[in-house]
């Protein structure tokens, strides 16, 4: 598309061109974005905003220059092609490119160019806005993303090493300690038997730690297909697996209505298994009661797993979700300190979050949210 002025003849045509250029100068003078006019590639006009972007003090520093020479070298061929397209009457969309200031430093702009026909004489008007800050932010995001990918790859490599190179030596330690205990029991004094027990117990705890680290590293990376998962069915499966521990604890577990969600069944199973196991482990002397409920609103679903156990002090509620974080000595409560960190990772990779609240009368309520996009077939509630 051309902006076109009516043709004139003779000297009046030259005056018309001059008048039109002055008109454009007046129009662009106070424009907040940079604006420049070029004729045959050379800059004939530029507004104050454009001068500031180029780091120029006066128009004389810019006028007459070949505009392409002020484009960063890697963008020049593309800009020349766009200029050719416009000269052939084709419309070009706005684009992002890197320009050069007069001191040689570069800056990013979003630019829109269009041809202007003044009495048969073709000019090109370019409007450009500085987007350097956004570009730098985008580049930082890309750098952070690459670093995250690298870290995830390192974690995957660790998982491979842990599953192959670390487990085998631990199995050997456990096996040989067992052989010593069996074959030489009558030759070991009380201290010797105690040392064998400590070595075997340490190997078992290390094995459990490696297994949990592997589970943590594999959240979201297991290759499982996402599907519609009925949380009521998942909780039922968890209760079956934990039935012996539930019976031993004497727990009463009440399950309310739970939604169908889009997710990974195995990870949702592990989420509820960890939360219920946690409630059973940290029970008080009172008969254990666990309640699982759900409430839905415009934002999505909120799942609540409440117990009347020993609870968690407010100052420790953020700490317990970290890897290897423990509030109690191992002698009192066994475990690796990774279970709740796994829960956090599962919920967050589904777009939700998880917190802990105090339960009225004692105990804890683990609260995790799932966004509405995770509720297939549900309409946003009025």
121 contacts 8 by C-beta, under 8 angstroms = no
Q: Which structural domain, as residue segments, surrounds residue 358? A: 224-382
Q: Which residue has the tokens 């990772």?
A: 345
Asked if 266 and 329 sit in the same domain, the reply is yes
Calculate what percentage of the chain has a pLDDT beyond 90: 32
Asked whether residue 91 falls in the same domain as residue 162, the answer is no
Q: Give the tens place of pLDDT for each residue, 101-156.
A: 999 999 999 999 988 876 677 888 999 999 999 999 999 999 999 988 888 777 77
Domain boundary among 76, 105, 130: 130
Helix locations, 242-330, DSSP H: 243-249, 265-281
pTM, two decimal places = 0.55
- Cβ pair 124, 86 in contact under 8 A: yes
C-beta atoms surrounding 248 within 10 Å = 10
Give dist(CA 377, CA 91) in Å, integer. 44
Does residue 339 register a pLDDT over 70? yes
365 and 236 within one domain: yes
Domain stop point among 83, 104, 130: 130
Q: 113 and 45, same structural domain?
A: yes
- In this prediction, residue 215 has a pLDDT band, given cuts at 50, 70 and 90, of confident
pLDDT surpasses 70 at 303: yes
CB neighbours of residue 367 within 10 Å: 16
- Domain final residue pick, 218, 252, 275: 218
Same domain for 249 and 211? no
Are 260 and 359 found together in one domain? yes
CATH of the domain at 61: 3.30.450.20
Q: Are residues 152 and 181 in the same domain?
A: yes
Q: In angstroms, rounded to a whole number, what is the distance separating the alpha carbons of residues 280 and 242?
A: 10
* Same domain membership, residue 339 and residue 194: no
Number of domains in the chain: 3
176 and 308 assigned to the same domain: no
- 27-43: per-residue pLDDT in tens? 778 889 999 999 988 99
Q: Measuring CA to CA, which residue among 113, 126, 108 is closest to residue 72? A: 108
Confidence of residue 237 (pLDDT cuts 50, 70, 90): very high
Looking at the structure, do residues 382 and 243 belong to the same domain, yes or no? yes
DSSP E strands in the chain: the ranges are 3-5, 34-39, 42-46, 95-100, 106-118, 121-130, 227-230, 252-255, 260-263, 289-297, 300-307, 354-358, 364-371
My answer on whether 258 and 341 are in the same domain is yes
Do residues 150 and 291 both lie within one domain?
Answer: no
**Per-residue tokens: 246:** 């539930």
């Amino acid at each position: 598309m051309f902006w076109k002025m009516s043709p004139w003849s003779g000297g009046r045509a030259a005056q018309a061109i001059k008048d039109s250029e002055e008109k454009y100068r007046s129009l662009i003078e106070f424009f907040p974005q940079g604006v420049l006019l070029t004729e045959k590639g050379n800059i004939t006009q530029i507004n104050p905003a454009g001068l500031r972007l180029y780091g120029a003090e006066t128009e004389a520093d810019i006028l007459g220059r070949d505009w392409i020479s002020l484009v960063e070298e890697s963008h020049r061929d593309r800009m020349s092609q766009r200029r050719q397209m416009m000269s052939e009457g084709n419309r070009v969309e706005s684009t992002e490119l890197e320009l050069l200031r007069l001191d040689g430093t570069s800056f990013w702009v979003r630019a829109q160019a269009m041809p202007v026909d003044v009495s048969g004489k073709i000019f090109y008007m370019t409007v450009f806005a500085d987007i350097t800050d956004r570009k730098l932010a985008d580049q930082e995001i890309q750098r952070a993303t690459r670093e995250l990918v690298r870290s995830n790859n390192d974690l995957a490599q660790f998982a491979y090493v842990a599953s192959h190179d670390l487990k085998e030596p631990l199995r050997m330690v456990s096996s040989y300690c067992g052989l010593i205990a069996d074959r030489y029991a009558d030759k070991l004094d009380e201290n010797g038997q105690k040392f064998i027990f400590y070595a075997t117990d340490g190997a078992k705890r290390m094995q459990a730690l490696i297994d949990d680290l592997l589970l943590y590293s594999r959240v979201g990376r297991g290759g499982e297909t996402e599907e519609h998962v009925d949380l009521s069915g998942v909780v039922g499966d968890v209760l079956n697996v934990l039935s012996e521990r539930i019976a031993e604890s004497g727990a009463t577990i009440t399950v309310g209505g739970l939604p169908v969600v889009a997710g990974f069944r195995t990870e949702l199973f592990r989420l509820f298994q960890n939360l219920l196991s946690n409630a059973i482990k940290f029970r008080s002397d009172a008969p254990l009661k666990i309640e699982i409920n759900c409430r839905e609103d415009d934002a999505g679903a909120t799942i609540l797993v409440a117990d009347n156990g020993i609870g968690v002090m407010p100052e420790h509620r953020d700490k317990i979700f970290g890897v290897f974080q423990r509030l109690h000595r191992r002698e009192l409560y066994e475990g690796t300190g990774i279970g709740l960190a796994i829960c956090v990772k599962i919920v967050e990779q589904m777009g939700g979050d998880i917190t802990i609240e105090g339960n009225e009368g004692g105990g804890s309520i683990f609260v995790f949210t799932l966004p509405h996009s995770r509720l297939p077939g549900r309409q946003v509630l009025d």
